[in-house]
Amino acid sequence: MARPYEFSREETLSRAMDVFWENGYKATSIQDLVDRMGIKRGSIYNTFGDKHSLFIAAVEHYGESVTSQTIKILGSPESPVANIRRFFYEIINKSSASKLRGCLVSNTVVELAPHDKQAAQLVQNILKKIELAFLGCLNRAVEKGELPANKDTRVLSRFFASSTHGLIVIGKSAAGKKQMKDIVKVILSTLE
């Protein structure tokens, strides 16, 4: 009979996510993970597999927790256009408070996606989830008369999804709030 975990899988996975988010995949050692996760090396391998498998699990966890929490704004019952505005200003606020970590998905796109098929597929799925959240929000805006019916919501949702990640990367580069607000002003001008 298998021994039950003596630790919270969810909590240790969150800790691993933070290490990868701060350091990136390549710069994170197994010892970094052992130190931060608070479990033994053997427990990491037995529970999550190798470093790559743990990384994939951490990015999935990020998509389910951080990304899902962020895009909830777009599905709020308030005005869809106001939700989009709130979404982008929330990114500015998070960028200021995130110690320049950026977004684990964006970081993974840059670091691993070009040569890691599994990581590429995973981040593509998360990016699609963001795009679909924008699409749903924009379609509700059209239904409520907040946007004209001739707006191409599919193209606009793709633009907003890519702008989201561009804005996060700018925020990671220590851009000031003023610069980020200027960028968001241009992004939001597409709603006029």
Delimit the domains of the chain by residue range: 9-191
The mean pLDDT of the chain is: 91
What string of pLDDT tens digits covers the 192 residues of the chain?
445 456 688 899 999 999 999 999 999 999 999 999 989 899 899 989 999 999 999 999 999 998 888 899 999 999 999 999 999 999 888 876 656 678 899 899 999 999 999 999 999 999 999 999 999 999 999 999 999 999 999 999 999 999 999 998 888 876 678 899 999 999 999 998
DSSP 8-class letter at 151:
S
Q: Which residue's structure tokens are 């700018």? A: 170
Would you tell me which CATH number, out of the four given (1.10.3720.10, 3.10.290.10, 3.90.1170.50, 1.10.357.10), belongs to the domain 9-191?
Answer: 1.10.357.10
Residues 47 and 167: their CA atoms lie apart, in Å, by: 35
Q: pTM value?
A: 0.88
